[in-house]
Amino acid sequence: MNVAITEGVEIRVNVIFRPDLSQVENDSFFFNYEVFMENHNSFPVQLLYRNWYIFDSMNDASVVSGEGVIGEQPTLKSQDTYTYMSGCELYSEIGYMKGFYTFRNLLTGENFQVVIPQFDLFFPPRLN
């Protein structure tokens, strides 16, 4: 599991290759990633935006930005956690994702960025 703590917010990411959703013979490799967040601050925070950089070894890299995650902009009180799962399709066997979230300190109203640690996306037989 890949972990980063920025400005008191911990982000952990776990990746699963999905053979049931992939079409390897057509160069389609699908991955689920689960993101776990924990607010270690003494104040509440709210996730406002996401910004992902997706690298696919045989194709152009892409940037995906938008409000919240999976249609939500969760608020985390001190020591609260939040978990969600999403997915990514690559058109090669190897890639990675990384990025950042924009959070708001709900006491001061200030926005800050939280690092999403880089995690690898590998077609499992490629690891052999």
Contact assessment for residue 55 and residue 97, using Cβ atoms and an 8 Å cutoff: yes
DSSP the chain: -EEEEETTEEEEEEEEE-TTT-BGGGTBEEEEEEEEEEE-SSS-EEEEEEEEEEEETTS--EEEEEESBTTB--EE-TT-EEEEEEEEEESSSEEEEEEEEEEEETTT--EEEEEEEEEEEE-GGGG-
Q: What was the pLDDT predicted at 127? A: 59
| pLDDT tens digits, 60-106 | 899 999 999 999 999 999 999 999 999 999 999 999 999 999 999 99
Determine how many CB atoms are found less than 10 A away from the CB of residue 95: 23
The mean predicted confidence, pLDDT, of the chain is: 96
Q: How would residue 125 be classed by pLDDT, with cut points 50, 70 and 90?
A: confident
Residue 4 has which token pair?
Answer: 């980063």
CATH topology of domain 2-127: Immunoglobulin-like (2.60.40)
| pLDDT tens digits, 28-38 | 999 999 999 99
Q: What was the pLDDT predicted at 73? A: 99
Q: How would residue 126 be classed by pLDDT, with cut points 50, 70 and 90?
A: low
CA–CA distance, 42 with 8 (Å, rounded to integer)? 9
